[in-house]
Amino acid sequence: MTSRTHKNERRAGQLSKDRIVDSAIAILDAEGEGALTFRVLAARLATGAGAIYWHVADKQDLLAAATDHVIGEAFAVVAGRSDPRATIRAIASAVFDAIDRRPWVGAQLSRNPLQDAGLRIFERVGEQIEAFGVPEPAQFNAATAILSLILGLAGQYASALDHVSTGIGRTAFLESVAARWAVLDPDLYPFVRRIAAQLSGHDDRAQFLAGIDLILAGIAAGGKGGAFERG
Amino acid sequence: MTSRTHKNERRAGQLSKDRIVDSAIAILDAEGEGALTFRVLAARLATGAGAIYWHVADKQDLLAAATDHVIGEAFAVVAGRSDPRATIRAIASAVFDAIDRRPWVGAQLSRNPLQDAGLRIFERVGEQIEAFGVPEPAQFNAATAILSLILGLAGQYASALDHVSTGIGRTAFLESVAARWAVLDPDLYPFVRRIAAQLSGHDDRAQFLAGIDLILAGIAAGGKGGAFERG
DNA sequence: ACCTGAACACCGTTCAAGT
DNA sequence: ACCTGAACACCGTTCAAGT
């Protein structure tokens, strides 16, 4: 019965930051952000709650590591296009897909934008901004704008998905929001009222990328002098 | 001693959602988000913790109401410019200033973007997008992009201010971030390393508005056909 | 109708004690 | 060095009881 049970069996029981983060991700994926507790995490790892603190500074550190892991994985499969514009769209797409699969990633990104995962996105975007031909002094602003848009959309999308997960389906949720919007005071909220009709049918991913395109168009337009010729 | 003490004295002691929200804002302003507790809020209102629940659904409701109050006040003083572009910049500026004064507003906006305050911003921006001459079908995407950028920047700025408030000053904080960035692996983070030098000297507000300008430029460029002539 | 405040069901985090 | 798990110092929220 215990044949084949050598010391690796023990090794598998060893704690490590990686194992902790993997377990945390499994819990977050399966039951959402509210379910991640040091107690249930410890139970799943068959250890004491305090043991986790040997490998992880605190809960924020754990969530940051989990988010960084997911974003790192998402970026690993983003092939670099020759066109910087297409590459930036691919980066944004990868982030969108990661959030679509795991709403907690979006929540974490928008809550703590300056941590590892955010820096990873910033770097990727910035490299393409440079490849796009944006002059040095403008690169910081341009990359920050795109990063901010991604994070802002991440927060909105994650928050919407959050509501969806707590009960009704996506279209039912959108319809309930649309119904609430359609009933606002027309003097105070003329725009939102009018837009409500488009809510149910709209495509989140397309809207996400449309925003990116607007900034890219603005960057391109800013270089009227020819400074942004593809090169 | 008790002359002049008529029933209004009693009235002042009455609870109401407004009084609760005002007290919550006072606590948030004075001691930050971590200090807002139903117990300390109740103490400040000289009542029991449970009494608050008669006027407020839960803590999320309280924070949403506080944020909506602040954004409403901020928008009350935003004069409409004749130029939609300038008005959108003024709206973004007002949000920036509100967050600059109260970091918790930024955190709340980015955490819960679809609540009252977010809707207020969305409406204001949307109206200007229409005034800008963006055709109907594109208005939703354009307004969402600007709202998302504002929320994304709100989150980043709030998170930075948060770190500042916990100890060191702003420039010291930026320098510590810059120092961390400057020391990253140059193969993995070439862009962030290079940009680190600009961090200490940069102007948050200018960067905030630069992002808005990029989207506006993108919107204008999108209407090459003349559809976006100022009208 | 509105308020009281004790009680409930949790949290993240710490830390003496073990191996 | 690493793990255990009870204990600490809190939370938001509920609810019987009061007025």
Contact B215 A220 (CB under 8 A): no
Residues in chain B, total:
231
Q: Does B75 touch chain A (CB under 8 A)?
A: no
Sign of CA dihedral B64, B69, B71, B72: positive
The Cα A63–Cα A112 span in angstroms is 10
Looking at residue A167, the DSSP 8-state letter turns out to be S
> Whose C1' is closest to the CA of B60: which nucleotide?
D12
Prediction pTM value = 0.90
pLDDT in tens, chain A (231 residues): 333 333 333 334 689 999 999 999 999 999 999 999 999 999 999 999 999 999 999 999 999 999 999 999 999 998 777 899 999 999 999 999 999 999 999 999 999 998 999 999 999 999 999 999 999 999 999 999 999 999 999 999 888 887 776 666 778 888 888 999 999 999 999 999 999 999 888 899 999 999 999 999 999 997 543 334 443
B154 and B92 Cβ atoms separated by less than 8 Å: no
Q: How does pLDDT run across B59-113, given as a tens digit for each residue?
A: 999 999 999 999 999 999 987 778 999 999 999 999 999 999 999 999 999 999 9
pLDDT on residue B229: 40
Q: Does B209 touch chain A (CB under 8 A)?
A: no
Locate the chain B residue with the closest alpha carbon to A204: B141
Locate the chain B residue with the closest alpha carbon to A109: B155
B171 and A229 Cβ atoms separated by less than 8 Å: no
Who among A143, A148, A214 is closest to B153 (CB)?
A: A148
How many other C-beta atoms can be found within 10 angstroms of the C-beta atom of residue A51? Answer: 15
Q: How does pLDDT run across B176-219, given as a tens digit for each residue?
A: 889 999 999 999 999 999 999 998 888 999 999 999 999 999 99
Q: How does pLDDT run across B3-19, given as a tens digit for each residue?
A: 333 333 333 468 999 99
